[in-house]
Structure 1
Amino acid sequence: MAGLKTFLGLLIFVIATRTKVDAFCFRTYGTWISRYHYHTSESQVNQGFQALKNAGITRVYVNIWADGYIYAKSSTATANGAVFIRDTLQWAVNAGRLYGLEVFAWFEYGTQAHFGTSPTTRFASSCNAKGWLLKTGNGGYTSHAGGNYVYCDATNAAVRKFYADMTADLVRNYAINGIQYDDHMSLPSGFAHVDALSHSQRYRVMEDFMTQIKNSVKAARRNAIVSYSPSTIEFSQSHHNVDWENYLQHGVVDEIVPQYYRSSSNDYKIIINRDIPLLHGHQTSLIGGIRLSGSGPRTPAGEVQKMIDLSYASKFKGVSFWFGDDIITGVYKPPILNKC
């Protein structure tokens, strides 16, 4: 009888423990670090990574490509007009090894060559001289869909090769876990060359482009993860000419980290319920992008918690927080999340 009681007690304990662990059983807890904070010196990077580790974060997407500046060593980038500023990526790799965090090189600007209305920077000017930039019918460099950014032309084979080779440089040169492009990897409407194509042709250009990048990454290191962080499917299609709903099914990327940045859990629920049915069951490879702050007030912690719950209920691979500063400074403290 005593043995039976012991067995039953052990069984209850195991079930209770399993329930507790499974309450938040993700494989990834990520965040993004911008180029403005915890990025400009090795001590800053170490400080940030230590705080993220203490908060339970497992992965950091570190910005290394913005406005024609690169914060890592790539001979492809500098040979084509990009300006090397500092080796933040190496600092991040060192800190990641020290604190046990995965490190991804995040190419924030994607095909955006420059923030502005004309190609005035060294990189944008170099691209312009080679005929790499998109232009409107009247010779301008910006469009409504693209905002106030000068864009490289993703239909240009030389442009695609540049990005594929630059990405591969970083995979070869650094012990990173993967790379990430985001919604700025786009082919905006409003440019003469783009508008001459059908929607299906534009979608095909961008899918082939991302496939080329993936192939270059895998050739450099087979186990490196190729990550993509787009806007919602509808917004990506209508503004960026990217139709990513089949990217996982087609093997274009290894993971999708959609920017489901909303200030309320109800809005978050609406957009994931709209996207998930289009993913053919592949939402298990999604990492939900959750907004902590940005333009406007910070997202209330209670709403963030509900978004985490919704991500778990949707069988996402994990969540990633926009952005790291809020966690590093302690403004937002993530709940204790148990890794699978």
Structure 2
Amino acid sequence: MTIKNLLLPALAALIFLLPITAAAQADYPAVKGAWLTNVDSDVLHSRANIAEAIDLCDSIGINTIFVVVWNKAMTLYPSNVMKEMFGEEIDPSLAGRDPLRELIEEAHKKNISVIAWFEFGLSSSYKLDGGRILKLKPEWKALNNKGELVEKNGFEWMNGINPEVQDFLLSIIREVVKNYDIDGIQGDDRLPAMPVEAGYDNYTVQLYRQEHQGALPPKDFRNPQWIDWRAGKLNEFMQRIYRSVKDIKQSVIVSMSPSIFPWSKEEYLQDWPEWLRQGMVDMVCPQLYRFEIGEYVRALDEVVKSQISKKDLVKFYPGVLLKLGSYYATEDYLKSVITENRKRGVEGEVFFFFEGLKKYPDLFRKYYRNPERAGN
């Protein structure tokens, strides 16, 4: 698996990690991946559907599946953490089954890796005024400078700087890593993340005051220093995620799929180039979701030329928009994306999302199963 070194202040710890990470890195192939959702897809509805999906992935050369395990504030596996804290063990539509275990078993038969994708991240609900999590835990709310619950693009948010909120997310991440033969975990544009409008809850304000001689945070949520401070706190959370996973199983990949930078930091306090610089991630899949190849290439070049070092290029697998609602990327667009990636030394990509693979099986088979024929 592609595991890079975590830069630790203690030299002894660094020396301890080096042989493990180097060996794992040599064994992990370039990622040809797809996100598997529980929205606009029925794959997770039965084991038979899962097996059929795995057969398709195997036949066309998809070697990594990023499967949703946390969405709409519910787990898609039986969770003791969720049962004890919020009284609901699993998404009710999946009750009586364990889709995550089924998927891992079917995928591993075909040597396909499975990354547990915590899609909902630090959101508590979508257009539900915080949902049951914040109804039971109102102190977890992310608040804006008017003292209101933060809502952005329909999503309501928990406060990602609050250690209790962090501990909750870490508890479900650890639960998956401990209980499943998972190959990796992934956060996205909602983990670790928080809307730039947030940070005005009592906990965060008091923490800021402690570190700034009693001064209150700026009322302007776009104040650059205030953005840097909050992004720094989320960087610390990213470090906690990384260490929590590695302390359980060193070989498990820690992957993130943030928005493009600097928009990710300006809007959601995600300074993911810093995560790479500090060795907090093993894989990064920025969402380079574009509809025209020229726009994609511009976004790709920004990452390759200024946001990621040459040594970290092996960690970079861009997220590519394949399907969204009734939209499908064209075959020519997909060919160009793969070609442009390879020109820049980017040896794989991750497609959003699985259902789009069904439209172009021959294309993916040609590029992934028979790459020597892709230029013909």
Task: Answer yes or no: same fold by TM over 0.5.
Answer: yes
1:123 offset after TM fit, Å?
Answer: 2.8
Q: SS of the counterpart of 2:266?
A: helix
Instruction: Tell me the residue number matched to 1:125.
Output: 135
Does the 8 Å CA contact 1:290/1:322 hold for their aligned counterparts? Answer: yes
Give a deviation string over 1:13-47, Cα, whole Å, max 9, x none: xxxxxxxxxxxxx7110001111321111111111
Structure 1 residues 328 and 297: CA distance shift in structure 2, 3 A: closer
| Kept in 1: contact 2:323–2:355 (CA 8 A) | no
Q: 2: CA distance between counterparts of 1:332 and 1:81?
A: 45
Paired residues in the alignment total 310
1:309 and 1:266 mapped to 2: Cα distance?
13
Of 315, 318, 321, which residue of structure 1 is paired with 2:351? 321
For residue 71 of structure 1, what is the aligned residue in structure 2? 76
Residue pairs, 1:96-245, within 5 angstroms: 96-120=107-131, 122-128=132-138, 131-143=139-151, 146-185=152-191, 186-191=193-198, 192-193=200-201, 196=217, 198-245=226-273
Structure 2 partner of 1:266 = 294
Deviation of 1:248 (Å): 1.7
For the residues of structure 1 that align with 2:363 and 2:51, how far apart are their CA atoms? 19
Q: How much does 1:82 deviate?
A: 6.7
| Residue among 66, 78, 99 paired with 1:88 | 99
Aligned letter for 1:184? Answer: R
TM-score (norm 2): 0.77
CA distance in 1, matches of 2:362, 2:264: 29
Query: C-alpha displacement at 1:296, in angstroms?
Result: 6.4
- The answer for the alignment partner of 1:57 in structure 2 is 62
In the alignment, is residue 294 of structure 1 matched against residue 297 of structure 2?
no
> Is the helix fraction higher in 1 or 2?
2
Amino acid at match of 2:251: N
* AA aligned opposite 2:307: L
Corresponding residue number in structure 2 for 1:13: none
Q: Taking every aligned residue pair, what percent have the same amino acid on both sides?
A: 20
Matched residue of 1:336: which SS? helix
Q: Deviation per CA, 1:145-168, whole angstroms, max 9, x where unpaired?
A: x32111111110111111112101
Q: Which runs of 5+ in 2 are unaligned?
A: 1-28, 206-216, 219-225, 372-376
Against the structure 1 CA distance between its residues 317 and 225, is the aligned structure 2 distance closer, same or farther, given a 3 Å change threshold? farther
SS at match of 2:278: coil
Counterpart of 1:41 in structure 2 is 46
* Structure 2 CA distance for partners of 1:82 and 1:314, relative to 1, 3 Å: farther
Which shifted more, 91-100 or 236-245?
A: 91-100
Label 1:332 to 1:210 Cα distance change in 2 as closer, same or farther (>3 A): farther
Which stretch shows the higher mean deviation, 189-198 or 310-319?
A: 189-198
What is the root-mean-square deviation of aligned Cα atoms in Å?
2.1
Question: In structure 1, how many angstroms separate the alpha carbons of the residues matched to 2:150 and 2:159?
Answer: 12
- Residues 288-328 of structure 1, C-alpha deviation per residue, up to 9 Å, x if partnerless? 11111215632111111111111112222411111100114
- Higher Rg: 1
Q: Which residue of 2 aligns with 1:337?
A: 368
Once the 2 structures are TM-superposed, how far is the Cα of residue 331 of structure 1 from its aligned partner? 6.9
Q: Deviations over 1:231-280 (max 9, x none)?
A: 11121011111111121221111110111111121111111112221212
Shift, 1:138, TM fit: 3.8
Contact 1:82 1:123 in 2 (8 A): no
Contact 2:121-2:190 within 8 A present in 1 as well: yes
Query: Which sections of structure 1, spanning at least 5 residues, go unmatched?
Result: 1-25
